[in-house]
Amino acid sequence: MPDHREIRADYDRTTIVVYQAYNDAIADAALAAGRFVPPFSLGRMTWIKPSFLWLMERSGWATKSNQERILAVRITRAGWDQALAAAVLTSFDPAVHRSADAWREQFAQATVHVQWDPERSIEGKKLDFRSIQVGLSRAVIHQYVSSWTQEITDLTPLATKLRELRRAGKHSEAKRHLPPARVYPTDAATAARLGMNS
């Protein structure tokens, strides 16, 4: 399978949507406040993903423990781009890093981690490109919560509907209900840093 790395997302001129899966307590508190509040933890890394289908696969279509609630978090593109500009890959890539030691040194100091995973189809099959997930450390989570987040929407009902359509074998119908996604523009320096050209 080709290892083509591509960022696809729902975005407009100033914002981009990322997806996360949580339990009821965290989701309900965040939806009520319009931002993440306790029991959401500011003390541990949080992972954000612009691919709805990848999160569906990871969360078992909103059935795994503590991943039953699916949230769409609209954040500023400025924040997203800032995170990507600071990110270091979670594994050594000879096309990106001078050496394994150089990567280890960068990774140890990184405030943002990036991992590429096979994108999924509505049927759950691996596609021929990889989808990004971005890990925000404690050093930047405060920005994510306090200044990047613009809106939080509960997509659990949509996830449930799609899960039932998939169970019934109605993949074409399910596909029509997916959130929009298109290739997100990434500057050359960031693309090189994240191994998108390799």
In a domain, 94, yes or no: yes
Burial (0-12, 13-18, 19+ Cβ within 10 Å), 32: exposed
For residues 48 and 133, the answer to whether their CB atoms sit within 8 Å is: yes
Across the range 63-91, mean pLDDT stands at 97
Residue 46 and residue 144 in contact, taking contact as beta carbons nearer than 8 Å: yes
Q: Is residue 71 part of a domain?
A: yes
Residue 86, strand partner residues: none
13: in domain: yes
Residue type, 15: T
**How crowded is residue 137: how many other Cβ atoms within 10 Å of its Cβ?**
14
**Model confidence pLDDT, tens digit, residues 112-147:** 999 999 999 999 999 989 999 999 999 999 999 999
Does some domain include residue 67? yes
Structure confidence by residue, pLDDT tens digits, 153-177: 999 999 999 999 999 999 999 999 9
- Alpha carbon distance 121, 54 (integer Å): 8
In a domain? residue 197: no
| pTM, 2 dp | 0.94
Closest among 126, 123, 144 to 20, alpha carbons compared = 144
Domain that residue 112 falls in: 4-187
Task: Answer yes or no: is 198 within a domain.
Answer: no
> What is the chain's mean pLDDT, rounded?
95
The span from the CA of 136 to the CA of 29, in Å, is 20
For residue 1, the model assigns a pLDDT of 36
Domains identified in the chain, total number: 1
Nearest residue to 16 via CA among 83, 84, 74, 86? 74
198 pLDDT band (50/70/90 cuts)?
low
Q: In this prediction, what percent of the chain has a pLDDT beyond 90?
A: 94
DSSP class of residue 185 equals P
Q: How many residues does the chain have?
A: 198
Whether 63 is in a domain gets the answer yes
54 closest CA partner among 20, 83, 11 = 20
